[in-house]
Every structure is written in structure tokens, then in C-alpha cells.
């Protein structure tokens, strides 16, 4: 899609607000729908009424002609559009009203590595704002091995033809990933790896481009996934993601299975396989901290 700028530049706040009002109907916000409607979702004037601002002001905000909205105005618009917590925070960042998010260190600390190793039956790994894996325990290393691509899991998800086999419900997993990367793209200052990743996927993956243009935004909290792993078969896992407070921008994800389930046994087996390969195979690292994938850029 030549000429498009999916990350950075343009009127990002206006694009986001238009996408959010297109999701709502008058009935959903307590308004009566009168006459024929030429727009999908709410009209600008309806959002203005709900937010308690003039139609002209709201039009300028969407068109990018109003570049210094107040926090009170953005709060009113967020309520009018029924934005969730992540979407509200994203709107504030796009309006340059949120604190900056600086990734000060993309290294997992010894304490964080110790925490990851303390999960004997769960996969634990750390990602940077571009969702590149920078550290993982043995179970996680074995779990993401088919989708690793040197840590670039999102590239695997959208550019590798085997991804829909690995992610049994690929569409759900992909939407969650795009929603999360859009949240990261709103950080100020922007993370250069995120912008490059979005541009690359936008050009090379029509599926990513369509999901990106939908402007859905939400952080990764708890996600249930069905994985078909080539080494241990199918796994039903719950993924929980946490911010790493000592390193803003990094996230810790823990994938676990129901106690006593076949999926829990499969996770444990993956950890055993990975530990055995690491300790016994020529050229593998000896026992120590979780493995860190190489951070080289994929073409």
C-alpha cells in the first residue's frame, strides 16, 4: 500500500477518534436515531453533544486543526466514545497529554530472570515494546521455538505460512497482537523498533494492514490460546501479561495450563526437552540464566 504511513505522521488522533465513533450506534449511547444516516456509527455532532463541546470544536479535533486539547476535553470525549482504559490512555498519548514512556533498559535483570525460573510448570518470557522476546525460561523457549524467528514473534504470526497451524485460533491471536502493538505505537517518544515493525508488516501482510486500520487498541492482559505445537501436540493455555516496573516498556508474560491437565504435562515436557538440549547438545549453553534470542532484524 504505497503512500500510506501506518505508524507515525498524519492525523493519528483524528483517525483514532473516527474509528471509535464508527463502532457506536445512537442507541448504544442513549440517543434517538432520526432520519437516514450516511455515516457508520455516530455523527460528529452527536459525539460533540455527548462530550459537551461545540460541533465545530470537535470537528477541528478530528481534522487535526485543534492540536492542544485539554485533559478535561479529552476525558469528556473518551466518556462519549465509551473508551476502555487502554483506549483512553492511548487517546491521551495521541493528544500528547500522557507522561512519556522511556524504555531505559532492554535487559532482563537478574531478579526478573530468577522470577521466570521460579515457574516450574509455566512458560515465562519478557518482551520489549515491539513484542520481541528478549529473555525466556526453558519452558517458554521450547514453547515459542516454532514461532521464534530470533524473537520476532509478530513477524512469524503474520509472515510465516505455518502460523495458522501453530495458533489454532489464529484470527483471535492476531487481533490481540495488533491491538497490543497499536498501544505500544502510541508511546512517547515512539520506540523505533515498533515503528519499523508496523511499517514492514503493513506492507507485507494484508491481514495486518486490515487489522491495523481498524484502530482497535488494548493492552495484553489475560488471553486464552490454543496452540498446536509440533513437538508435544495441542495445548490450551492462559497467557497473563504484566508490566515490568523496573524497566518501563518491557512486559512479562506467563503462559500456564489448568492444574493436572494434559496441557500442563506438555508444558513440563517442553521444559525438559529444552533443558536437555541446552545441557547436552554441542554448542548449547550450559545451565544458567534463561536464554535470550538474538536481536537481529529480519528482512
Residue whose grid cell is 465513533: 21
At residue 198, the pLDDT reads: 93
In the numeric block, which cell numbers belong to residue 235?
Answer: 495445548
Angle between helices 55-63 and 12-22 (to 10 degrees): 120
At residue 96, the pLDDT reads: 85
Structural contact between residues 204 and 155, judged by C-beta atoms closer than 8 angstroms: no
The residues near 243 (Cβ < 8 Å, ≥ 6 apart) are 250, 251, 252
H, E, C per residue of the chain? CCCCCCCCCCCHHHHHHHHHHHCCCHHHHCCCCCCCCCCCCCCHHHHHHHHCCCHHHHHHHHHCCCCCCCHHHHHHHHHHCCCCHHHHHHHHHHCCCCCCCCCCCCCCCHHHHHHHHCCCCCEEEEECCCCEEEEECHHHHHHHHHHCCCCEHHHHHHHCCCHHHHECCHHHHHHHHHHHHHHHHCCCCCCHHHHHHHHHHHHHCHHHHHHHHCCCCCCCCEEEEEEEECCCEEEEEEEEEEECCCCCCCEEEEEECCCCCHHHHHHHHHHHHHHHHHHHCCCCCCCCCCCCCCCCCCC
At residue 298, the pLDDT reads: 37
Q: How many residues does the chain have?
A: 299
Give the max Cα distance, the chain.
74
At residue 288, the pLDDT reads: 36
Dihedral sign computed on CA atoms, order 182, 188, 192, 195: positive
At residue 47, the pLDDT reads: 93
Integer Cα distance of 220 and 103 in angstroms: 18
Residue whose grid cell is 508488516: 201
Tens digit of pLDDT at every position of the chain (299 positions) = 444 556 655 788 999 999 999 988 888 888 876 666 777 789 999 999 999 999 999 999 999 888 888 888 999 999 999 988 778 888 888 888 876 665 555 778 888 999 999 998 999 999 998 989 999 999 999 999 887 667 788 999 999 999 999 999 999 999 989 988 888 887 767 788 898 999 999 999 999 999 999 888 776 666 899 999 999 999 999 999 998 877 777 889 999 999 999 999 999 999 999 888 877 654 443 333 344 444 333 33
Structural contact between residues 183 and 130, judged by C-beta atoms closer than 8 angstroms: no
Give 254's strand partners.
Answer: 124, 240
Amino acid at each position: 500500500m504505497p503512500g500510506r504511513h501506518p505508524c507515525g505522521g498524519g492525523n493519528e488522533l483524528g483517525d483514532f477518534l473516527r474509528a471509535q465513533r464508527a463502532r457506536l450506534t445512537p442507541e448504544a449511547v442513549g440517543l434517538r436515531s432520526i432520519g437516514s444516516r450516511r455515516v457508520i456509527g455516530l455523527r460528529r455532532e452527536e459525539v460533540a453533544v455527548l462530550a459537551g463541546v461545540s460541533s465545530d470544536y470537535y470537528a477541528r479535533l478530528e481534522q487535526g486543526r485543534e492540536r492542544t486539547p485539554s485533559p478535561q476535553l479529552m476525558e469528556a470525549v473518551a466518556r462519549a466514545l465509551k473508551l476502555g482504559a487502554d483506549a483512553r490512555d492511548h487517546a491521551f498519548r495521541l493528544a500528547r497529554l500522557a507522561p512519556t514512556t522511556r524504555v531505559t533498559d532492554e535487559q532482563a535483570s537478574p531478579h526478573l530472570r530468577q522470577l521466570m525460573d521460579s515457574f516450574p510448570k509455566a512458560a515465562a518470557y519478557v518482551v520489549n515494546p515491539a513484542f520481541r522476546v528478549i529473555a525466556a525460561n526453558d519452558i517458554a523457549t521450547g514453547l515459542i521455538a516454532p514461532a521464534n524467528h530470533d524473537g520476532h514473534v509478530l513477524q512469524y504470526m503474520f509472515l510465516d505460512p505455518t502460523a495458522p497451524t501453530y495458533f489454532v485460533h489464529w484470527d483471535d491471536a492476531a487481533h490481540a497482537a495488533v491491538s497490543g502493538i497499536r498501544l505500544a505505537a502510541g508511546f512517547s517518544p515512539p520506540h523505533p523498533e515498533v515503528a519499523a515493525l508496523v511499517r514492514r508488516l503493513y506492507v507485507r501482510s494484508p491481514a495486518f494492514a486490515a487489522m491495523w486500520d481498524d484502530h482497535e487498541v488494548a493492552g495484553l492482559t489475560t488471553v486464552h490460546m490454543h496452540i498446536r505445537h509440533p513437538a508435544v501436540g495441542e495445548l490450551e493455555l492462559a497467557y497473563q501479561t504484566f508490566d515490568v516496573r523496573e524497566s518501563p516498556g518491557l512486559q512479562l508474560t506467563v503462559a500456564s495450563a489448568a492444574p493436572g491437565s494434559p496441557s500442563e504435562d506438555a508444558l513440563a515436557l517442553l521444559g525438559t526437552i529444552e533443558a536437555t538440549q541446552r545441557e547436552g547438545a554441542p554448542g548449547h549453553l550450559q545451565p544458567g540464566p534463561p536464554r535470550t534470542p538474538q536481536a537481529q532484524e529480519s528482512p
